[in-house]
């Protein structure tokens, strides 16, 4: 029986792909992923059968790859940017590959890279994703409550809520425009940037969709070593 590997490829650059991820990719005959997921490992994909996902077809493409793997007995790798256990549609994927033996190969998440750049303790932070499952309004309120109770918040912006939309929402519910924030864009990829700024400033600009917003809790003292 073919095996499914769900492989995290890190945030973007090839030197952040783990040896374990490279090994799983090199052994598989079938590769599934969105174009962005393929980016850090392009050099490893020659000769593989590729199933490219997009917003219109990602479930049907995953099911087609599952059929191909069942028919051919070849192992299949689903690539995911960052870590596959963070906002990567893992639940749906496991349904689409029902019956397969599954191994998840962790990757370095974009959130870990952003935390490293900001030099913040992840234990003092919460991650909120506006990409996948869940009610958007509930997530907005959760984010607000976390900030009010002293947790810094990493926001994975998405179609549901952009970086600037998140900042505008927080200003709308009463956060001060001078609240400290940072925007990390295209980490590990061409055009990478990290901007340490304020919520008021973030709300005034349009940001690249591949960005993470960090909002520092006004309740929490920020260490003098933390960039903010």
- Tokens at residue 11, please? 């945030």
Among 184, 203, 214, 217, binds ligand SAM (CB under 6 A): 184
Helix (H, G, I), strand (E, B) or coil at 103: strand
* Residue 210 touching ligand SAM (CB under 6 A): yes
* Residue 80 touching ligand SAM (CB under 6 A): yes
Helix (H, G, I), strand (E, B) or coil at 128: strand
**Region binding ligand SAM by CB under 6 A among candidate stretches 69-77, 104-112, 136-144, 194-202:** 104-112
Which residue number, 2 or 155, has a Cβ lying nearer to ligand SAM? 155
- Tokens at residue 194, please? 């990290």
* Residue 40 touching ligand SAM (CB under 6 A): no
The span from the CA of 109 to the CA of 86, in Å, is 8
Among 139, 186, 220, 227, binds ligand SAM (CB under 6 A): 186
* Residue 152 touching ligand SAM (CB under 6 A): no
* Residue 179 touching ligand SAM (CB under 6 A): no
**Region binding ligand SAM by CB under 6 A among candidate stretches 46-54, 81-89, 139-147, 173-181:** 81-89
CB 8 within 8 A of CB 105: yes
CA dihedral 151, 134, 11, 95 (to 10 degrees): 140
The span from the CA of 48 to the CA of 31, in Å, is 7
* Residue 189 touching ligand SAM (CB under 6 A): yes
The span from the CA of 226 to the CA of 80, in Å, is 29
Interface residues toward ligand SAM, by CB under 6 A = 11-12, 80-83, 86-88, 109-111, 131, 156-158, 184-189, 209-212
């Amino acid at each position: 029986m073919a095996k499914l590997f769900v492989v995290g490829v890190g945030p973007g650059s090839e030197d952040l792909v783990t040896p374990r991820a490279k090994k799983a990719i090199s052994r598989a005959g079938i590769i599934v992923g969105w174009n962005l997921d393929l980016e850090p490992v392009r050099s490893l994909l020659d000769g593989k059968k590729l199933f490219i996902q997009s917003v219109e077809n990602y479930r049907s493409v995953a099911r087609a790859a599952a059929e191909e793997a069942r028919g051919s007995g070849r192992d299949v790798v689903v690539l995911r940017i960052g870590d596959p256990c963070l906002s990567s549609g893992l639940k749906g994927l496991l349904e689409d590959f029902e019956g397969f033996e599954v191994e998840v190969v962790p990757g370095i998440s974009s959130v870990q890279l952003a935390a490293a750049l900001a030099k913040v303790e992840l234990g003092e932070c919460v991650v909120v994703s506006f990409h996948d499952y869940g009610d958007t309004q509930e997530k907005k309120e959760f984010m607000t409550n976390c900030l009010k109770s002293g947790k810094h918040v990493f926001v994975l912006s998405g179609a549901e809520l952009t970086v600037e939309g998140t900042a505008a929402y927080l200003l709308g519910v009463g956060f001060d425009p001078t609240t400290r924030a940072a925007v990390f864009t295209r980490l590990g990829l061409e055009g990478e940037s990290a901007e340490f700024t304020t919520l008021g400033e973030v709300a005034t600009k349009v940001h690249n969709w591949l960005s993470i917003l960090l909002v520092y809790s006004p309740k929490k003292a920020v260490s003098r070593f933390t960039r903010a």
